[in-house]
Amino acid sequence: MPADLDHRLTFLEASQNSDGGWGYFPGKQSWLEPTVYALLALHQAEPDAPACARAWKLLASWQRPDGGWRPCATVDRSSWVTALAVLALAGRNDFGQPLRRGVSWLLQSEGVPLPWMTRLLARIQPLPIEMDHRLLGWPYFPGSTSWVEPTSLTMLALKKVRRQHASRMLNRRVETGEKLLLDRRCSDGGWNYGNRRVLGQDMESFPEMTALALIALQDRIGSVDVDGEPDVRLSALGRAWMGIASSLYGWKRREETPAAAPQHDLMVSALEALAISGGMPFRLEAHT
């Protein structure tokens, strides 16, 4: 095992909370997002590790009666992190009832469409946000609009399970999600969290959102032209996500590599570990 990977996995194990989860930083409240990424990294290295068993137990306890997952113990509301829980279960080849209920919740979750009056006015006067408002992806929380991050991760999770849970609705939602991502692509070739053009101005893309969109679209390589990692200075989070995307696309990494010591940010450390080990939990088979 590479030393930089071993350092990060050791750091994650030492930082696990007593409830089995991880916070965004050591000693902080557990949240599902860093918990799933830490679990994916540790599970890939040692599936039977006690830390993994504790994390799986927490994951099971946070599923709500509606099939979705809460983002933390103190928020009793299902959210976009359901996609992460489904992704984790799929990585374990656990396609049972909890995953099925999670998939059902995701298929029912949808970004809020524009009000009919706004749609009517848009025929007369262009809206300040330039995008195809007919395309609905996934929100962070039910009742809000579609965003790139939850749409990308939900598409990835659904693509991971579509052989075991094939349905017309699943295929339709994935197809619409792909169209939404391609519609939201910025003029510089990447993606930001929301829109590509606002008030006549092109929006700047972010490496972490660009990587997530590319990961979600990896099995549709013909639908999006990419020629390598963007030549921009990356934050630790952007570098970690772009490292995963680079592994999946077979790109040669730039000289900028993860620091030898793990980040204090637990989620970044987990994503760095996943990038170093090839990003396998995010890999999709080609789909035609």
288, part of any domain: no
Q: What is the pTM of this model?
A: 0.91
> Does the residue 34 lie in any domain?
yes
pLDDT, position 116? 45
Residue 285, in any domain of the structure? no
As a whole number of angstroms, the distance between CA 121 and CA 127 comes to 8
Query: Computed over its alpha carbons, how large is the radius of gyration of the chain?
Result: 19
Of 206, 207, 202, give the one whose Cα is nearest residue 129: 202
Is residue 246 in a domain? yes
If pLDDT is split at 50, 70 and 90, which confidence band does 146 have? very high
Over 60: is that where the pLDDT of 212 sits? yes
Number of domains in the chain: 1
Domain range spanning residue 20?
A: 3-222+230-279
**Which residues share a beta bridge with 72?**
31, 75
Task: Tell me the mean pLDDT in the region 105-109.
Answer: 98
Give pLDDT tens digits for 108-128.
999 987 654 555 555 556 655
The per-residue pLDDT of the chain, averaged, comes to 88
Residue with tokens 């921009």: 232
CATH number at residue 175: 1.50.10.10
Q: How far apart are CA 179 and CA 130, in angstroms?
A: 15
> Is residue 287 situated within a structural domain?
no
Between strands 197-198 and 201-202, the pairing is antiparallel
In a domain, 286, yes or no: no
pLDDT-based confidence at 223, cuts 50/70/90? Answer: low
Please answer whether residues 280 and 44 qualify as being in contact, where contact means their C-beta atoms are separated by less than 8 angstroms.
yes
Q: How confident is the model at residue 248 (pLDDT cuts 50, 70, 90)?
A: very high
Whether residue 161 lies inside any domain: the answer is yes
Percentage of the chain modeled with pLDDT above 70: 83
Rounded to an integer, what distance in angstroms lies between the CA atom of residue 86 and that of residue 156?
A: 10
CA atoms lying within 13 Å on the CB side of residue 163: 7
pLDDT score recorded for residue 204: 82
Residue 45 contacts by C-beta under 8 Å, 6 or more apart in sequence? 1, 5, 9, 273, 277
